[in-house]
Amino acid sequence: MHAGVPSDAMRVWATLLPMKVKFFAWLLGRGRLNTRAYLHHRNIRALEDSWCVHCPGVLETDVHIFVGCHKAHVVWARLGISMHCDLVQRPWDIGVGVTLPDVLRVDFFLLLLWHLWKAKNAMIFDQLNLPPREVLNRVALDLDAWTRRYKKHRLELQVWRDWLATCNPPPSSTLPS
Ligand SMILES: [Zn+2]
């Protein structure tokens, strides 16, 4: 690290996110998330036990979970964000150029990655196949619960929250969701 220039990974620790989310993002940025593929490459899991829970025959890599998998694709599409493979190890660069308060951009997208990860785990451990609407709803619930945590960026948080509500409107009562 150069003196005075924070490393990219420092941007994870500089967020106001809970420690468990920061640690998750730090592992992701270092390519050390405990995906099935990561465990397979370390000879901890057999190949046939290392597929994505949604995609038989496709290795559960971090890039697959957050970019390649259709479960992630529909979430990004709902937000209108183009997500690329190379952003998985630079998650602090996701959404650069989005016209929302940049001060909370890294926080927002790391939280979204966290919920994609948790949704994948819910399928593995609880056989719970969350629709994209529910993944984004869980992001919204966290943001709503964290008004104290984000007190110094209250207005910026509300802008992100409003945008999320626009991208992920509640299901119409007259139509099946
Ligand atoms: Zn998949």
Distance of CA 118 from the midpoint of ligand 1 (Å) = 14
Residue 160 lies in a domain: yes
**Global confidence as pTM:** 0.92
pLDDT band at 170 (very low <50, low <70, confident <90, very high): confident
Share of the chain above pLDDT 70, in %: 93
Residue 138 lies in a domain: yes
DSSP line for the chain: --TTS--TTHHHHTS-S-HHHHHHHHHHHTT----HHHHHHTTSS-GGG-B-SSSTTSB--HHIIIIISHHHHHHHHHHT----GGGTT-GGGTTTT-SS-GGGHHHHHHHHHHHHHHHHHHHHHH-----HHHHHHHHHHHHHHTTTTTGGGHHHHHHHHHHHHHHSPPPPTTS--
Q: Which domain holds residue 136?
A: 11-167
Residue 153 lies in a domain: yes
pLDDT tens per residue across span 7-23: 777 899 999 999 999 99
Share of the chain above pLDDT 90, in %: 88
Residue 173 lies in a domain: no
pLDDT tens per residue across span 131-160: 999 999 999 999 999 999 999 999 999 999
Residue 6 lies in a domain: no
Distance of CA 128 from the midpoint of ligand 1 (Å) = 15
Residue 3 lies in a domain: no
Residue 118 lies in a domain: yes
Distance of CA 159 from the midpoint of ligand 1 (Å) = 31
Residue 90 lies in a domain: yes
pLDDT band at 173 (very low <50, low <70, confident <90, very high): low
Q: What's the total number of domains in the chain?
A: 1
